Amino acid sequence: MLVVAGAATGFLVGLTGVGGGALMTPLLLLMFGVAPLTAVGTDLWFAATTKIFATRVHHNHGLIDWQVVRRLWLGSLSASVLTLVWMKLHPVDQTAVTLLKTTIAAAVLLTAVGILFQKPFQAFGRRLRTTDAEHFKAWQPGLTVLAGAVLGVLVTLTSVGAGALGAVFLAYLYPLRLTPPRLIATDIVHAIPLALFAGAGHLLMGNVNFGLLGNLLLGSVPAVIAGAMLSARLPHTVLRMALAVVLLAVGAKLAWTI
């Protein structure tokens, strides 16, 4: 079942850039009974490793916007370090575990809402970009760094958000520059060092289960390559809407069990 879960999630990651944390972390909590911190730490390494294989396919197709990626990294990696320091200074007790589960559920629901409203956000960004291009472009770099910082905190705490919320931010900030395949590729590449950074911190805190991780990767590595190869050929809108519905159900279920 772990291999199957890894394969299904990996295929979605390759196809849409979404699902590494938003789907896998709740699955580990709800289906496999993994402790919250272990689920987050293990999923960060699962997501990073899975996306590395997808990145090679996207890089070969020339789809990655490296300037945008560097701007996101500036915010997300700095925020991840600060969040890890905060976690180290605040030992986990039962209250913190409940808060963590609540945060994960909220992040999953926020991810689903972000997917549902990505098109309106993109349309709003396109309207600003075309009617007030000078001011919009002047704010782009700073807002991209800020978006990265938000993702850095959220991903380090929950392992959720790098894919879907990152895509929403990019769709708004770069509505003309990033086509859907370029947006997916850029979003995936940004998420890898962020997941590794946060994952390294969780590893030092003892929150990674390598046996669990190995089983998940057995399924995800071949599946993510297949998904990435199909990414430019399938209807993204339908796929993302279906994923949003699934995440809404998963997030609601997770919130109900807290």
How far apart CA 103 and CA 158 sit, in angstroms, is: 7
Q: Rounded to two decimals, what is the model's pTM?
A: 0.85
Task: Name the residue with tokens 């997300």.
Answer: 76
**Do 68 and 174 form a contact (C-beta atoms < 8 A)?**
yes
**Tally of domains in the chain:** 1
How far apart CA 168 and CA 173 sit, in angstroms, is: 9
Q: Which domain holds residue 91?
A: 2-257
Work out the burial of residue 68: count CB atoms within 10 Å of its CB; fewer than 13 is exposed, 13-18 middle, 19 or more buried.
buried
**pLDDT per residue rounded down to tens, the chain (258 residues):** 999 999 988 888 777 767 677 888 998 998 899 999 999 999 999 988 887 877 766 556 677 899 999 999 999 999 999 999 998 888 766 667 788 888 899 999 988 888 888 889 889 999 988 898 888 999 999 999 999 999 999 999 998 888 778 888 999 999 989 887 788 788 888 888 999 999 999 999 999 999 999 999 999 989 988 887 877 676 767 777 878 888 888 888 888 887
CB atoms within 10 A of CB 255: 15
Which distant-in-sequence residues (6+ apart) come within 8 Å of 101 by Cβ?
Answer: 29, 36, 254, 258
